[in-house]
Amino acid sequence: MASTISAVYDVVGIGVGPSNLSVAALLDGIPELSAAFFERNDAFAWHPGLLFRDARLQTSFLKDLVTFADPVNPHSFVNFLHSKQRLHQFINADFDKITRAEFIEYMTWVATRLPNLKFSHDVREIRFHNDMFVARIDPNIEVYSKHVILGVGRRPYVPPCARPHLGDAVFHASEFLARAPRSRPASVTIVGGGQSAAEIFLYCIRNIDSGLKQLTWVTKRDNFSPLDDSPFTNEYFTPLYSKYFFELEADKRIALLNAQKLASDGISASTLREIYQEIYRVKFIEGRALDLRLLVDHELTALDRAGFKWAASICDTTTGERSSVLSDQVVLATGYETVVPRQIEGIRHLFELEREQLRLKHDFSASWRVPCRSRLYLQNAGRRSHGIADPNLSLLAWRSATIINSLLGREHFVVPQNEHLIERNAPQQTRQPMEQIA
């Protein structure tokens, strides 16, 4: 059956995670731009496979969808609390960090207030035709748009040796809650050294009564290292630092990202404390028969079937010594990677690349090989260009405001111009000037 051209928009958003939900919320007060946002899920969701009951946000609740761009916006977390008549109780509860469950309730509340979000719409392909983007969407729709904002998230990273074995017993952390609780394994190996690995470890050790006898946690890192969210490190999560970072040469940016890793990928200090205390309780107070191994400086190098179990070959990164861990289940908490989404494979050649990724401009639009007035904006794909904060919530509202200002060709949202508290060498020349777009 031929596709139906259902509409023509100024801007179409692909994916409704926090990134595009933030743009949609900020666009809500700007009627001059016609917009629609398409999401493949049938309702708003945020990493459901890792939504543990007590999982906490790693950022302040003020870093919501809108506040840092527009503090009086009605789609703020504070207005959500006010509307639910629990603002006083929220403050009285004095949370250090709020639960991810409450933040999801907030984002779902915002999603239900926005008329232009279209769920159960999977965007299959984006083409470019007659100066317009054409999005082919299941079920059987085509929409035309002058601009597109891709907000499809990052792809779970699976080490090559594990890829042929993905399934019920070997899977990425993003699927944990969909798979693990059903299977009640006697032995589990967790690979990875970040927050997701830590939360999965905590879940497993707290559910020891489910029959768990052996729990192994393997990381390449040299320790189970804390997230650095101290004040001067948090300067990396500001618009001005992002602008500074953007002006640097590519090699310097990559070096900085490696040096700053724990500012984003470390484990919350509270989670580390809970894990340590659980281990203490299980080992020393309860004296449970749990074979517990915490292996740092070890890398997963191969994965093979061994009867009904899986043999994870691990290599000591200091000595080169190899050993093997047998378990029923292997959970790969190995992070996420930025890739060019397959939906734009057909138009990728129209844009400049930098190290296999689309080169982004200041305003988060991809850089065309030949000048063009339409824009393809990429959310959550600018870690290498805009800095370590890009995949997180911290600069979400600012990034959305930057994109909307670019769409409008004027500074509708005032972006902060305050001073750095830290002096850094200013780059000699800008790589690309901020463009005003008509």
Ligand X SMILES: Cc1cc2nc3c(=O)[nH]c(=O)nc-3n(C[C@H](O)[C@H](O)[C@H](O)COP(=O)(O)OP(=O)(O)OC[C@H]3O[C@@H](n4cnc5c(N)ncnc54)[C@H](O)[C@@H]3O)c2cc1C
Residues numbered 271 to 310 that lie near ligand X (CB under 6 A) are none
- Closest approach, Cβ 275 to ligand X, in A, equals 17
Q: Is the peptide bond before 156 cis (omega within 30 degrees of 0)?
A: no
Which residue, 34 or 99, has its beta carbon nearer to ligand X? 99
Which residue, 46 or 144, has its beta carbon nearer to ligand X? 46
Q: Which residues pair with 141 in a beta bridge?
A: 4, 137
Q: Could you say which of 33, 47, 179, 315 contacts ligand X (CB under 6 A)?
A: 47
Rounded CA-CA distance 241/292 in Å is 42
- Closest approach, Cβ 44 to ligand X, in A, equals 8
Q: Could you say which of 11, 12, 50, 404 contacts ligand X (CB under 6 A)?
A: 50
DSSP state of 386: H
Q: Which residue has the tokens 């009285």?
A: 92
Q: Which of 53-61, 111-119, 201-209, 326-334 is the region at the interface with ligand X (rule: CB under 6 A)?
A: 53-61
Q: Give, in order, the Cα–Cα distances in Å from 140 to each of 115, 121, 137, 149.
A: 21, 9, 6, 21
- Closest approach, Cβ 293 to ligand X, in A, equals 24
- Total number of residues that touch ligand X (CB under 6 A): 30
For residues 168 and 183, is the Cβ–Cβ distance under 8 A? yes
Rounded CA-CA distance 220/300 in Å is 8
For residues 23 and 149, is the Cβ–Cβ distance under 8 A? yes
Q: Could you say which of 123, 197, 212, 344 contacts ligand X (CB under 6 A)?
A: 123
Which residue, 12 or 312, has its beta carbon nearer to ligand X? 12
Which residue, 152 or 162, has its beta carbon nearer to ligand X? 152
- The DSSP string of 336-364 is EE----GGGGGGGGGB-EETTEEPB-TTS
Q: Could you say which of 13, 153, 193, 194 contacts ligand X (CB under 6 A)?
A: 153
For residues 235 and 420, is the Cβ–Cβ distance under 8 A? yes
Which residue, 266 or 391, has its beta carbon nearer to ligand X? 391
Q: Could you say which of 241, 331, 391, 407 contacts ligand X (CB under 6 A)?
A: 391
For residues 412 and 37, is the Cβ–Cβ distance under 8 A? no
Which residue, 270 or 317, has its beta carbon nearer to ligand X? 270
- Closest approach, Cβ 141 to ligand X, in A, equals 12
| Residue 285 exposed, middle or buried by CB count within 10 Å (0-12, 13-18, 19+) | exposed
Q: Is 190 in the site for ligand X (CB under 6 A)?
A: no
Q: Is 57 in the site for ligand X (CB under 6 A)?
A: yes
Q: Is 343 in the site for ligand X (CB under 6 A)?
A: yes
Binding site for ligand X (CB under 6 A): 14-20, 38-41, 46-47, 50, 57-59, 122-123, 151-153, 196, 343, 379-380, 391-394
